[in-house]
């Protein structure tokens, strides 16, 4: 979902808040030997895609101007942003590295893999049909890339180091926006197959499956972002918000319902995964308040 359009967008502020949340969790856990996070790995969509779509045959890409105009060298990198994206700031803020590169970047080095990369693909989603028609990388394939990545890490740094990175690194899952905005509410296929509540349940189960796959790989610190107020993103306000371009309440309510189901599911799932931290990150309320009360920010 192409929500992040500039480094001053509400989502940028949101991801700084995520940074604070994860920093607090790290301080509370105190699990790493040196107090630092060794790596960050990201599964998701355009919000956290740092260039994996660049060489795909898809319309969902941004490796051309004016994207990247505020990036170092004023170069478009494939990030859906004027400059850095939120996960870059999280990586630098947590002392991991300045930028979180794309796994499929041909210039990526083994040290990049050891300290973390993004597997995210603009246009992807929990529903496999979403990346299929948008020609993005499905989340399942992103997880396979993650496995491949750790194979390379183990060969380069040894199994003990690879296991340490898995146990102490941060794993982010950021998806679901495209499933609603560019799939369920935009195309007739899924609406003809199931009512909204059933579709949301299906998405949550798929999100849960992704978390379980990350755990099986060895990930133990997993953070899943909830949906923002999707009825307030520009495309929804333009197409369905009327002359005043108001937020679309139906879509916002779908986001709320999804978040409630996801939060409950992740809480239950966390109880079944020994030695794991599985955190649902609530983002809806703060973003909606930013939209409705911008003067506060």
Residue 141 lies in a domain: yes
Place of tokens 């199931």: 194
Note whether residue 3 is domain-resident: no
Q: What rounded mean pLDDT belongs to the chain?
A: 89
Say how many CA atoms lie within 13 Å of 190 toward its Cβ.
23
Reduce the DSSP state of residue 138 to 3 states and report it: coil
CATH number of the domain enclosing 228: 3.40.50
pLDDT digits (tens, 9 = 90+) for 21-63: 555 555 545 444 456 889 999 999 999 999 999 999 998 998 8
- pLDDT reported for residue 33: 46
Is 124 contained in some domain?
yes
Q: In Å, what is the CA distance from 294 to each residue of 25, 178, 226, 288?
A: 28, 25, 21, 10
The answer to whether position 44 is within a domain reads yes
Let me know if residue 281 belongs to a domain. yes
**pLDDT for 116:** 98
Tokens, residue 270:
């966390």
Angstrom distance (rounded) from CA 282 to CA 146: 25
On whether residue 118 sits in a domain, the answer given is yes
Q: Does 2 reside within a domain?
A: no
Q: Residue 221: enclosing H or E segment and its boundaries? A: strand 221-225
Per-residue pLDDT, 214: 99
Give the least confident one: 22-31, 86-95, 158-167. Answer: 22-31
Model confidence at 20: pLDDT above 60: no
Q: What percent of the chain has pLDDT over 90?
A: 69
pLDDT the model gives residue 4: 34
The C-alpha angle with vertex 279 and arms to 277 and 280, in degrees rounded to 5, equals: 165
pLDDT tens digits for range 96-143: 999 999 999 999 999 999 999 999 999 999 999 999 989 999 999 999
Q: Which residue has 């796959």 as its token pair?
A: 213
- State which residues form the domain around 158: 10-296
**DSSP string computed for 220-269:** -EEEEE----GGGSHHHHHHHSTTTT---HHHHHHHHHHHHHHHHHHHHH
Mean pLDDT of 169-193: 96
CA distance readout (Å), 290 to 61, 232, 235, 236, 282 = 27, 11, 18, 17, 14
pLDDT value at residue 100: 96
Q: Is residue 233 part of a domain?
A: yes
Question: Length of the chain in residues, anyone?
Answer: 297
Number of domains within the chain: 1
């Amino acid at each position: 979902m192409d929500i992040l359009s500039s480094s001053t967008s509400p989502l940028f502020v949101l991801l700084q808040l995520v940074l604070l949340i994860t920093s607090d969790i790290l301080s509370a856990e105190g699990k790493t030997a040196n107090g630092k996070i060794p790596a960050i790995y990201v599964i998701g969509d355009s919000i956290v895609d740092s260039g994996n779509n660049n060489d795909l045959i898809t319309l969902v890409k941004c490796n051309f101007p004016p994207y990247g105009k505020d990036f170092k060298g004023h170069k478009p990198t494939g990030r859906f942003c004027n400059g850095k994206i939120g996960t870059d700031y999280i990586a630098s803020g947590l002392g991991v590295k300045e930028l979180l590169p794309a796994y499929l970047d041909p210039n990526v080095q083994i040290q990049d893999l050891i300290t973390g990369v993004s597997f995210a693909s603009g246009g992807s989603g929990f529903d496999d049909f979403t990346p299929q028609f948008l020609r993005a990388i499905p989340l399942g394939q992103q997880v396979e890339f993650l496995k491949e990545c750790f194979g390379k890490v183990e060969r380069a740094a040894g199994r003990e180091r690879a296991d340490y990175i898995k146990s102490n690194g941060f794993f982010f899952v950021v998806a679901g926006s495209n499933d609603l905005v560019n799939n369920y509410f935009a195309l007739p296929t899924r609406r003809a197959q199931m009512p909204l509540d059933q579709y949301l349940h299906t998405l949550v189960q798929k999100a849960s499956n992704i978390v379980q796959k990350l755990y099986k790989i060895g990930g133990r610190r997993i953070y899943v972002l909830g949906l923002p107020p999707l009825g307030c993103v520009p495309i929804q306000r333009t197409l369905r918000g009327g002359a005043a371009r108001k937020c679309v309440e139906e879509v916002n309510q779908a986001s709320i319902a999804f978040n409630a189901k996801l939060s409950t599911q992740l809480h239950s799932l966390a109880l079944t995964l020994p030695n794991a931290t599985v955190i649902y990150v609530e983002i809806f309320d703060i973003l909606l308040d930013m939209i409705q009360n911008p003067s506060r920010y």
